[in-house]
Amino acid sequence: MTDSDKKPIILSIESSGNTSGIALHEGTELLAEYSLVGKNLHDKLMTESIRRLLGDLELKIEDISAIAVSAGPGSFTGLRIGAAIAKGLCFEGSPKFIAVPNLSAFAFAARDFAKALNASGIIATIKAHKNLMYRQEFNIEAEASGEIIMTDTTEFEALDTTGKVLCGTAAEPTAFTLKTLTELSPRIIGEYAVAAYNKSDFADAAEFTPMYIQEFEIKTSKKKIFGEK
């Protein structure tokens, strides 16, 4: 087998929400997936999970064709941590670097479901802060047909979603909602990354910045400081 015949090995990182996880694909085949659900685990466990996964499969970073990372929108801190790890692994352009837009990844994973239902389109959603959410519309080939919009739940409930597949973390259960497409898993990031790799859709790791979209808000305690009036 020549180098050109080898299937690409892609390591995918998902850190944009409560799930801290990684997946490894060889071509379209999922070799392994590690996921942990919980807050404040990304910086503690992500690098250790990568080290363990590569060790379990007897691989070195030199064997990896590309590193994919969830690019947002999502948690500011989580996106920052995932981006830092991915950029560090893609030192001097090797492995290749793939930035995966989260809403696009959801839509890509929903394609077959949308086609099976003869849906008119796909709406991908991601929870933001409080009652806010990000949404974006796609055709059944997961090609964007609109820009990313921030809306509140009241506006979304009034939206006509008839005949469209809903997916993402803010998707409400309907006949056109698939339970497995309401959480962003590492394998969903990886599936999109495999298609991106085949199209040579790479990004410059050094220049990459996650899509935070909503400005980061610094939370301050409302408790009065001792002696403050």
- Residue 117 included in any domain: yes
Q: Domain of 138: which CATH number? A: 3.30.420
On whether both 68 and 177 belong to a single domain, the answer is no
pTM over 0.85: yes
Identify the pLDDT of residue 229. Answer: 43
On whether both 92 and 109 belong to a single domain, the answer is no
Q: What is the pLDDT averaged over residues 97-103?
A: 97
Identify the pLDDT of residue 6. Answer: 85
- Residue 68 included in any domain: yes
Residue 175's pLDDT band (cuts 50, 70, 90): low
**How many Cα neighbours within 13 Å face the side chain of 46?**
30
Which long-range contacts (C-beta less than 8 Å, at least 24 apart) are formed by 121-125? 121/145, 121/163, 121/164, 121/165, 122/164, 122/165, 122/167, 123/159, 123/161, 123/164, 123/165, 123/166, 123/167, 123/168, 123/171, 124/167, 124/168, 125/156, 125/166, 125/167, 125/168, 125/169, 125/170, 125/171
The secondary structure element, H or E, covering residue 33 is strand 29-37
- Residue 175 included in any domain: yes
Domain containing 61: what range?
3-101+184-207
How many helices (H) and strands (E) the chain has is answered by 6, 9
On whether both 97 and 188 belong to a single domain, the answer is yes
On whether both 38 and 89 belong to a single domain, the answer is yes
Range with lowest mean pLDDT among 61-70, 117-126, 176-185, 213-222:
213-222
On whether both 60 and 161 belong to a single domain, the answer is no
At residue 179, the 3 state secondary structure works out as helix
On whether both 97 and 9 belong to a single domain, the answer is yes
The more confidently predicted of residues 3 and 128 is 128
Inform me whether the pLDDT recorded for 218 exceeds 60. no
Inform me whether the pLDDT recorded for 20 exceeds 50. yes
Q: Domain of 30: which CATH number? A: 3.30.420.40
- Residue 221 included in any domain: no
On whether both 175 and 188 belong to a single domain, the answer is no
> What are the C-alpha distances in Å from 48 to residues 10, 24, 34, 42?
18, 15, 11, 10
- Residue 214 included in any domain: no
- Residue 130 included in any domain: yes
On whether both 165 and 195 belong to a single domain, the answer is no
Inform me whether the pLDDT recorded for 161 exceeds 80. yes
Inform me whether the pLDDT recorded for 4 exceeds 70. no
Q: What is the pLDDT averaged over residues 91-120?
A: 95
- Residue 67 included in any domain: yes
Identify the pLDDT of residue 137. Answer: 97
Question: How many Å apart are CA 74 and CA 16, to the nearest integer?
Answer: 5
Inform me whether the pLDDT recorded for 75 exceeds 60. yes
Q: What is the pLDDT averaged over residues 129-151?
A: 94
- Residue 90 included in any domain: yes
Give the mean pLDDT of the chain: 87
Residue 221's pLDDT band (cuts 50, 70, 90): very low
On whether both 91 and 171 belong to a single domain, the answer is no
Structure tokens at 124: 């991908």
Domain count, the chain: 2
Question: How many Å apart are CA 226 and CA 229, to the nearest integer?
Answer: 9
On whether both 39 and 67 belong to a single domain, the answer is yes
On whether both 122 and 108 belong to a single domain, the answer is yes
On whether both 73 and 30 belong to a single domain, the answer is yes
